[in-house]
Amino acid sequence: MTDQVLQQAIAQIEAARADSNQIPVVKGFFDQATYTITYVVHDPATREAAVIDSVLDYRPNSGRTSFASADAVVAYVNSENLKVTWLLETHAHADHLSAAPYLQEKLGGKLAIGQQITHVQEVFGKLFNAGTEFERDGSQFDHLFEDGHTFKLGNIEAISLHVPGHTPADMAYIIGDAVFLGDTMFMPDYGTARADFPGGDARQLYKSIRRLLELPRETRLFMCHDYKAPGRDTYAWESTVGAQHDSNVHVHDGVGEDEFVEMRTKRDATLDLPELIMPSVQVNIRGGHMPEPEDNGISYIKIPVNAV
Q: How far is the CB of 119 from Fe ion (least distance, A)?
A: 15
Residue 233's identity, in one-letter code, is D
Binding-site ranges for Fe ion (CB under 5 A): 93, 183
Complex with Fe ion: residue 13 or 145, whichever CB lies closer: 145
Complex with Fe ion: residue 157 or 173, whichever CB lies closer: 173
The C-alpha atoms of residue 80 and residue 76 are separated, in whole angstroms, by 6
DSSP conformation letters of the chain = ---HHHHHHHHHHHHHHT-GGG--EEEEEEETTTTEEEEEEE-TTT-EEEEES--BEEETTTTEEE-HHHHHHHHHHHHTT-EEEEEE-SS--SSSB--HHHHHHHH--EEEEETTHHHHHHHHHHHTT--TTS-SSSTTSSEEE-TT-EEEETTEEEEEEE--SSSTT-EEEEETTEEE--SSB--TTT-B----STT--HHHHHHHHHHHTTS-TT-EEE-SB---BTTB-S---EEEHHHHHHH-TTTSTT--HHHHHHHHHHHHTTPPPPTTHHHHHHHHTTTTPPPPP-TTS-------TT--
The residue number with the shortest CB distance to Fe ion is 183
Q: How far is the CB of 195 from Fe ion (least distance, A)?
A: 10
Q: How far is the CB of 187 from Fe ion (least distance, A)?
A: 15
Complex with Fe ion: residue 94 or 156, whichever CB lies closer: 94
Q: How far is the CB of 227 from Fe ion (least distance, A)?
A: 13
Q: How far is the CB of 94 from Fe ion (least distance, A)?
A: 5
Complex with Fe ion: residue 43 or 89, whichever CB lies closer: 89
Complex with Fe ion: residue 10 or 123, whichever CB lies closer: 123
Complex with Fe ion: residue 42 or 93, whichever CB lies closer: 93
Helical packing angle, 100-107 and 68-79, nearest 10°: 30
Q: How far is the CB of 118 from Fe ion (least distance, A)?
A: 18
Complex with Fe ion: residue 242 or 274, whichever CB lies closer: 274
Q: How far is the CB of 298 from Fe ion (least distance, A)?
A: 28
